Structure 1
Amino acid sequence: MKNIMKRNYKALLLLLLLAFASCSFTTKTFADPDKDKLLVQVVTYVLQQLHFDPVDFNDAFSKELFSDYIENLDPVKRYFYQSDIDDFKKFETNIDDQLKVYDITFFNVTYDRMIKRIEEAKQIYKEVLSEPFDFSKDETFNTDYEHVGYVKTKKEMKERWRQQLKFSTLSNYDDIYTEEKQAKEKDPSYVMKSEKEIEKEARESTLKSINIYFNDYFDDLQRDDWFSIYVNTIVEEFDPHTYYLAPRNKEEFDMKMSGKLEGIGARLQKRNDYIKIVELISGGPAWRSNELEVEDVILKVKQENEQYPVNIVGMRINDAIEYIKGPKGTKVTLTIKKVDGTIKDVTLTRDVIELQETYAKASIVKKGDMTFGVIDLPSFYLDFNNYKKLNAATDVKKEIEQMKTQGIEGLVLDLRNNGGGSLPAVVDMAGLFIKDGPVVQVRSTGEPKHVLEDRDKSITWDGPLVILVNELSASASEIMSAAMQDYKRAIIIGSKQTYGKGTVQNVLDLNNWVRNNTSGDLGALALTTQKYYRINGGSVQLEGVKSDVVVPDRYSYIDVGEKDKPNPLPWDEIDAANYSTWNNYLDYDETIKKSKERMSKNAQLKLIDENAKWVKSKIDDKIVPLNYKKYKEEMNLNDKEAERFEPIGDYKTNLTFESPNYEKELFAKDTTDLKEKRDRWHQSLSKDVYIEEAINVLQDLKTSNNIKKVATVKD
Structure 2
Amino acid sequence: MKTPIDKILRNLLYLTLLWMSSASALLVEHEVNPAPKHQQESKMLVRLMEELHYKNKPLDDTLSATILDEYIRVLDPNKMYFLSTDIADFERWRTQMDDFIRAGDLKAAFQVFNVFKQRVTQRTEHAHRLLDKTFDFSQEETYRWDRKKSEWAMTDKELDEIWRKKVKNDYLSLKLLDKEPDDIKETLTKRYQVMAKRINNLKSDDVFQYFINAYLSSVEPHTGYMSPITSENFELNMSLSLEGIGAVLMNDGEYTQINTIVKGGPADLEGSLQKGDKILAVGQGSEGSFDDVIGWGIEDVVQLIRGEKGSTVRLRIIGEDDGPETIPKIVKIVRDKVKLEQQAAQYKIMDVKEGGAEHKIGVIDLPTFYLDFAALRSGEADYRSTTKDVKKILQTFKQEGVEGVVVDLRNNGGGSLIEAINLSGLFIKRGPVVQTKVSTGKKDVKKDVDPRIEWEGPMLVMVNHFSASASEIFAAAMQDYGRAVVVGNQTYGKGTVQNVMRLSDYIENNEQELGQLKMTMGQFFRINGGSTQNRGVIPDIEFPDSPGADKYGESEYDNALPWSSIAPSDYNVYADLTDEIVYLKKRFNERSKVNFEFDYLNKENQLYAAEKDDVTVSLSAETRQQKTKEREHRKQQRKAKRKALLTATEPDPLLGEITVLVDSTEALVVEDKEQDSDMSSDIAGQDPDETPETDEEDDDIFVDFRLHESARILSDLIDFNQRQLVAKNDKAKLNTDN
The answer to whether residue 100 in structure 2 is matched with residue 101 in structure 1 is no
The answer to whether residue 706 in structure 2 is matched with residue 690 in structure 1 is yes
TM-score by length of 2: 0.80
In 2, distance between residues paired with 1:659 and 1:688?
15
Report which of the two structures shows the higher radius of gyration computed on alpha carbons: 2
Say whether the 8 Å CA contact 1:548–1:592 is kept in structure 2.
no
Say whether the 8 Å CA contact 2:187–2:292 is kept in structure 1.
no
Query: Residues 278-677 of structure 1 correspond to what in structure 2 (within 5 A)?
Result: 278-302=259-283, 307=289, 309-312=291-294, 321=302, 324-325=305-306, 328=309, 331-338=312-319, 341=322, 342=326, 343-354=328-339, 356-367=341-352, 370-387=359-376, 389-495=383-489, 497-520=490-513, 522-555=514-547, 558-583=550-575, 588-589=580-581, 591-604=583-596, 605-646=598-639, 650=643, 652=646, 654-659=657-662, 673=671
In 2, distance between residues paired with 1:575 and 1:477?
22
In 2, distance between residues paired with 1:349 and 1:562?
34
Deviation at 1:569, TM superposition (A): 0.8
Structure 2 residue corresponding to 1:211, chosen from 146, 171, 193: 193
What's 2:147 paired with? 145
The answer to whether residue 123 in structure 2 is matched with residue 121 in structure 1 is yes
The one-letter amino acid of 2:74's match is N
Say whether the 8 Å CA contact 1:393–1:428 is kept in structure 2.
yes
What is the SS of the residue equivalent to 2:86? helix
What is the SS of the residue equivalent to 2:562? coil
Structure 2 unmatched runs, 5+: 1-33, 647-655, 676-695, 726-738
1:282-335 deviations in Å (ceiling 9; x for gaps): 33332233322334333444566995542526x676665565555645654333
The one-letter amino acid of 1:415's match is L
Q: Against the structure 1 CA distance between its residues 49 and 644, is the aligned structure 2 distance closer, same or farther, given a 3 Å change threshold?
A: farther
**Matched residues, number:** 644
Q: Against the structure 1 CA distance between its residues 320 and 390, is the aligned structure 2 distance closer, same or farther, given a 3 Å change threshold?
A: same
Deviation at 1:485, TM superposition (A): 0.8
1:651-681 deviations in Å (ceiling 9; x for gaps): 64832324478x89xx5xx99927979xx99
Deviation at 1:640, TM superposition (A): 2.4
In 1, distance between residues paired with 2:264 and 2:556?
30
The one-letter amino acid of 2:292's match is V
1:235-291 deviations in Å (ceiling 9; x for gaps): 211222222223233234434676962332223455676554343223333223332
In 1, distance between residues paired with 2:300 and 2:421?
38
What's 1:154 paired with? 156
Structure 1 residue corresponding to 2:219, chosen from 238, 248, 253: 238
Deviation at 1:123, TM superposition (A): 1.8
In 2, distance between residues paired with 1:685 and 1:477?
30
In 1, distance between residues paired with 2:494 and 2:409?
15
In 2, distance between residues paired with 1:434 and 1:174?
58
In 2, distance between residues paired with 1:607 and 1:99?
52
Q: Against the structure 1 CA distance between its residues 469 and 289, is the aligned structure 2 distance closer, same or farther, given a 3 Å change threshold?
A: same
Deviation at 1:411, TM superposition (A): 0.7
What's 1:250 paired with? 231
Q: Against the structure 1 CA distance between its residues 644 and 243, is the aligned structure 2 distance closer, same or farther, given a 3 Å change threshold?
A: farther
Say whether the 8 Å CA contact 1:340–1:642 is kept in structure 2.
no
What's 2:715 paired with? 699
Deviation at 1:532, TM superposition (A): 0.8
What is the SS of the residue equivalent to 1:152? coil
1:582-634 deviations in Å (ceiling 9; x for gaps): 13979634543444333442422111221233234443320101121222222
Q: Against the structure 1 CA distance between its residues 271 and 438, is the aligned structure 2 distance closer, same or farther, given a 3 Å change threshold?
A: farther
Say whether the 8 Å CA contact 1:279–1:417 is kept in structure 2.
no
Q: Against the structure 1 CA distance between its residues 390 and 557, is the aligned structure 2 distance closer, same or farther, given a 3 Å change threshold?
A: closer
Q: Against the structure 1 CA distance between its residues 109 and 251, is the aligned structure 2 distance closer, same or farther, given a 3 Å change threshold?
A: same
What is the SS of the residue equivalent to 2:272? coil
In 2, distance between residues paired with 1:476 and 1:498?
11
Q: Against the structure 1 CA distance between its residues 453 and 606, is the aligned structure 2 distance closer, same or farther, given a 3 Å change threshold?
A: same
In 2, distance between residues paired with 1:500 and 1:403?
31
Say whether the 8 Å CA contact 1:312–1:320 is kept in structure 2.
no
Say whether the 8 Å CA contact 2:249–2:257 is kept in structure 1.
yes
What is the SS of the residue equivalent to 1:373? strand
In 2, distance between residues paired with 1:643 and 1:614?
17
The one-letter amino acid of 1:550's match is E
Q: Against the structure 1 CA distance between its residues 692 and 566, is the aligned structure 2 distance closer, same or farther, given a 3 Å change threshold?
A: same
1:481-530 deviations in Å (ceiling 9; x for gaps): 111111110011112x211111112222222222211122x232222111
